[in-house]
Amino acid sequence: MPLHRGDSYAPKMTRAAIFDPTDPAFLRDRYPVYRRLRDEAPVLRTELGGRPCVILTRYADVDRLLRDERARVRSDEGVPEHLGTGPAAAFYRNSLPCLDPPEHTRLRKLIAPAFTPRTVHAMRSWLTELVDAQLAELAGRGEVDFVADVAAVLPARIACRLLHAPDSDAGELLRHVPALNAVLGQGGLTPEARTAADEAARFYFDYFTDVVGTLRGTLPEDDLVGALVAAADSDGGLGHAAVVTALTGLLMASYHTTRVALAAAVFALLEHPGQLAALRADPGLATNAWDETLRYDAPIHFLWRDLAIPLTFAGERLEAGTHVVLGLAAANRDERRFADPDRFDLARADRRHLAFAAGAHYCPGAPLSRLEGEIFLPRFFARFPDAQVTRQPERQLDLTFAELRSLHLDLGRAA
């Protein structure tokens, strides 16, 4: 589960005050602090969002807990009280990232056929068409904000295609994502934020109710929407609320990861001209570049789990019920796992990063994400060989979502 910068933080350190999630300097440059946490406080007892917790930052510890089915994503309290009882709470209750087995297992099995190697491979042609159309729109533009003009647009079109929504609906669909995404954070919501989340959830429930009604009986079951609609219609099926919630969550997840990774990959390659030259010389490195970006600049910095039994990490016993915050981005830069982890390296042999999590909650859309990077990166740099960064990009000052808010590029001439 994500931790949001906007939540009410009150850090209480039992060790040296290494980690202050409210410090703007930390939020702008996190990795030196993550290194200190790994070295000096790999099991950090603190408080976030008014709740005591333990933060883990070493790769081995984070990976182990992600794979341990005795670590739950939902605490005994169920839906957090601050979410209320409206549509936003209903979204939280049925959302895939917030489910434990057996409910999580059942929903994941329904989604899985839409992301098999064969199914994802079949998406290559229309993904390429969308990428080429997006790049054609940039030709002759000169300077652009890559985040606003590409990274926020292309993933929206991809998500609409996956969910059989009209391309013309992309802007309206994605306008509500930030408000609803807030319910996956930790800590309280303001009354205004909860109202906005309820309104966003109500919008998505109504929208996908129409989608399900329109497409019922028209799609194969290896289609993402088709599989969920068929499950809703079967005896003992998921139920309508679970299906529209799953579609909403898939929209949000597919959009966020691609949007963040596109901007991060282009920025990292432009900042590392030797690696960009290697990609240009061998476009087959595009998948490596995508995975290395996800390791080097993870789209989500923190998830959480609650322990069902006592477990020990780095010699410290954590009791059952402990709320554990998992530092994905910190783990991805752990020198105990990755050689020279602060170096961006397309030739890196070990690409088992944790950006897609691990274990039962490993991202089912990971194969599609990799295909998107494989298609986009070589085509972008072939089309705009002179692209360069014109000003230092701004980052979101959010504990969990540290993505680029802007990335101003001079595209130069189009090839």
In this predicted structure, what is the pLDDT of residue 277? 97
How confident is the model over 98-122, as a mean pLDDT?
83
**pLDDT tens digits, 139-180:** 888 899 999 999 989 988 998 888 888 888 888 888 888 788
Tokens of 134: 């997006």
The mean per-residue pLDDT over the stretch 58-82 comes to: 84
pLDDT at 4: 39
- Per-residue pLDDT, averaged over 192-215, amounts to 88
8 Å CB contact between 65 and 357: no
Residue 332 Cα distances to 52, 115, 414, angstroms: 24, 25, 35
Q: What integer is the mean pLDDT of 365-386? A: 95
Q: Give the pLDDT mean for 30-56.
A: 91
Average pLDDT estimate for 240-252: 83
Mean pLDDT of 186-206: 83
**Quick check: 63 and 358 in contact, CB under 8 A?**
yes
What mean pLDDT is predicted for residues 65-76?
85
Q: Which CATH superfamily is domain 24-410 in?
A: Cytochrome P450 (1.10.630.10)
Task: State yes or no: pLDDT of 392 exceeds 60.
Answer: yes
C-alpha distances in Å from residue 60, one per residue of 3, 145, 332, 334, 356: 21, 38, 10, 9, 15
Overall average pLDDT of the 308-332 stretch: 94
CB atoms within 10 A of CB 300: 22
- Rounded mean pLDDT, 49-57: 87
Least confident of 29-38, 250-259, 317-326: 250-259
Domain boundaries, the chain: 24-410
Q: Which backbone phi and psi does 53 adopt, to 5 degrees?
A: -155, 170
Candidate ranges 167-181, 223-237, 373-387; pick with highest mean pLDDT: 373-387
* Rg (the chain; Cα; Å): 21
DSSP tag of 395:
B
What span, in angstroms and rounded, lies between the C-alpha atoms of 209 and 185?
26
CA 365 vs CA 4, 91, 347: distances in Å: 23, 20, 24
Given a cut of 70, whether residue 10 has pLDDT beyond it is no
Continuous H helices in 272-339: 273-281, 286-296, 328-332
Which of 169-173, 252-256, 359-363 reaches the highest mean pLDDT? Answer: 359-363
- Look-up: residue for tokens 């933060």? 55
8 Å CB contact between 325 and 412: no
188 pLDDT band, cuts 50/70/90, is low
Which range among 110-114, 258-262, 359-363 shows the weakest confidence by mean pLDDT?
A: 110-114
- Cis status of the peptide bond prior to 102, with omega within 30 of 0: yes
- Give the three-state DSSP class for 125: helix
DSSP E strands, 37-80: 43-48, 51-56, 71-72
pLDDT of residue 178: 78
The whole-angstrom separation of Cα 382 and Cα 372 is 16
State the helix-helix crossing angle for 240-271 and 366-383, rounded to 10 degrees.
Answer: 40
Instruction: Give the chain's mean pLDDT.
Output: 86
Task: Flag the least confident range among 135-139, 216-220, 296-300.
Answer: 216-220
Angle separating helix axes 224-233 and 103-111, nearest 10 degrees = 130
Three-point CA angle 185, 189, 192, nearest 5°: 130
Query: Percent of the chain beyond pLDDT 90?
Result: 48
Range with the lowest mean pLDDT among 86-95, 284-293, 369-378? 86-95
**Joined tokens for residue 84:** 């209320």
Distance separating alpha carbons of residues 284 and 261, to the nearest angstrom: 18
Q: DSSP secondary-structure letter at 406?
A: -
pLDDT at 361 over 70: yes
Q: Assess whether pLDDT exceeds 70 at residue 19.
A: yes
Distance CA 186, CA 242 (A): 22
Neighbours of 336 (CB within 10 A): 12
